[in-house]
Amino acid sequence: MFGLATTRPADAEERTFIAELQVGSEEAYNRLVAQYAPSVYRVAYRLLNNPADASDTAQEVFLRVFRGIGRFQNNCSLKTWIYRITVNAVSNQNRWWHRHRGNEVSLDSPENSPVSASLRQSDRSWDPFESVVSQETQELVQKALLRLPESARALLILREMEGLSYEEVGEILHVSLGTVKSRLARARLALKTELEALLAPAPGPVPVWSHAD
């Protein structure tokens, strides 16, 4: 009860899919990228607030996925595992981008990468906010998110924007279910405070009234 949050392991269909990935199936590779690239990019962008960095991070995530798929154990879902890799990759990017930014070269051309192709196909349909709120509100929420610590942003993005369960969020972040709920409550309050601050009218100059004699 007080341990790390856990989710159900991969089901039979997913285990078959994972086995295909592990033997190097190109069809399985393309299917994985098509299915998860928009989500990976979305999370990376929300955390980094930079399209180029988010695209680079998405490609790094899939490089890690395919390097590590042979060691994948079916004690969690593939989705949870990929989100975990994404959050970790973003943390690394935030720590090291100043040092490496000018020196790294993508393994794939942005135009030819399977990840980039999937992102182009998805266009902007990935954003769950788009159909219910205006672009202006999206930008306001993003600005408020960026005022929060990375750990709080990750919680809000995974739970509120990606719609993951508390258990999935806990497993991705390696924390207990109770910790997820308590930290999420604080993160929601912090986001509300930042939104209120952004929406508050800026104090204007005090008018100086001249009175005729």
**Ordered structural domains, the chain, with CATH:** 12-95+108-198 (1.20.140.160)
CA distance 34 to 53: 20
* Contact of 175 with 152, CB cutoff 8 Å: no
Give the length of the chain.
213
Higher per-residue confidence, 84 vs 136: 84
Would the pLDDT of 176 be above 60? yes
pLDDT at position 138 is 81
**Total-model pTM:** 0.75
pLDDT at position 127 is 52
* Contact of 21 with 69, CB cutoff 8 Å: yes
pLDDT at position 94 is 74
Which residues partner with 176 through β-bridges?
4
pLDDT one-digit tens code per residue, 53-107: 999 999 999 999 999 999 998 788 999 999 999 999 999 887 655 555 545 444 3
CA distance 134 to 131: 8
Cα 32–Cα 35–Cα 39 angle in degrees, nearest 5: 115
